[in-house]
Amino acid sequence: MIRLARIDHVCLRVADLDEASARWQIQFGLVERSQVDGRALLACNDEPYSLELVESDNPGHDHVAYELALDCSLDDACGHLTASGVAWDERDGCVLVADPDGRQIQLMPYREPVTDIDRWPQHARPSATVHLGGPRKLGHVNSLTGDIHKNAAFYVDVLGMGVSDWLAEAGVWFHIGTDHHVMALVDLGYAHFHHLAFETVDIGKMRDLLDHLARHGRWLSWGPARHGIAGNIASYVRIPEEECHVELYCDMEQLGADHVPRVYPDDRYSSNTWGPLPPRSYFRFDPVAVEFERESWETRGTLLPPPPEGWPR
């Protein structure tokens, strides 16, 4: 058997570790826990870390890590993976596995809270290190896929997630706890990590962070939007350096224990009750799409051309 407790962290490969760590700290309000041997650990609040940066000649997504539940040991997880016919590797006290698209996943053992205070709500814990300004937590990730049903079966049958909802045949959302989703997939015919998502306390905090990001030269690839599926208010910020987006969100739907997955129509209202669907550049990571988005060429009436040769469509 296997059971996950929560998402633990996202790991990104970066071209320059000093530059990237400083950039994620000042732009998103994260704090650096450590930097050693080409690896930096950054946190939102008082968690050990939620973003891992690793220096590499190939910047981009490296892996997503999930913490196992209290009643699921690493041996339990390994036995389940073996019984499922899924290859795995144990390294540094964790288990590494890949989904059908080849995305790396790290399974970490359950970490018992050190003290009873560590079990208290975030705002009630005394601290001498947490600073004002950052998001509350890392909440979820989203990826593009070329085989949504094969990947959906992997996240349910192999990793033990539950299906929250479907967007016709185009998207699927998965949950571990009560948050509507911790992981989502959108089928565009090719695989690419799309975004990691930080939760903000409310839309006012999101506004402050977006104003701050704008002053640092960032722009919205889509939003603010109000998703029909999951209900969250979301804004997506383009991060060209690591070929991904960051979502800032609040007001995520909370699921009950008896939740039954729903199938939404693939229409504008399911994606954004407030207005338009995202521009087509939102789903691409090639230099043409980034430039069109930065300069708002699509909204100024110029059609987005096909991606350069060698890039996914």
Pairing state between β 137-145 and 192-199: antiparallel
At 214, which helix (H) or strand (E)?
A: helix 203-215
Confidence category of residue 63, pLDDT binned at 50, 70, 90: very high
How many whole angstroms separate alpha carbon 74 and alpha carbon 110? 9
By CB atoms closer than 10 A (0-12, 13-18, 19+), residue 271 is buried
Tell me which of 3.40.640.10, 1.10.1040.10, 3.90.1720.10, 3.10.180.10 is the CATH number of domain 4-113+135-271.
3.10.180.10
Q: Among the listed ranges 68-72, 121-125, 186-190, 228-232, which one has the minimum average pLDDT value?
A: 121-125
Confidence category of residue 311, pLDDT binned at 50, 70, 90: confident
Residue 113 has a pLDDT of 87
Q: Among the listed ranges 26-30, 127-131, 210-214, 277-281, which one has the minimum average pLDDT value?
A: 127-131
Domain parsing of the chain, residue ranges? 4-113+135-271
Residue 62 has a pLDDT of 98
| Backbone torsions φ then ψ of 8, nearest 5 degrees | -105, -55
Residue 108 has a pLDDT of 97
Confidence category of residue 291, pLDDT binned at 50, 70, 90: very high
Q: What is the mean pLDDT of residues 48-66?
A: 97
By CB atoms closer than 10 A (0-12, 13-18, 19+), residue 34 is exposed
123-174 residue pLDDT tens: 898 888 777 888 999 999 999 999 999 999 999 999 999 999 999 999 999 9
Number of C-alpha atoms within 13 angstroms, CB side, residue 260? 0
212-228 residue pLDDT tens: 999 999 999 999 999 99
**For the chain, how far is it from start to end, CA to CA, in angstroms?**
38
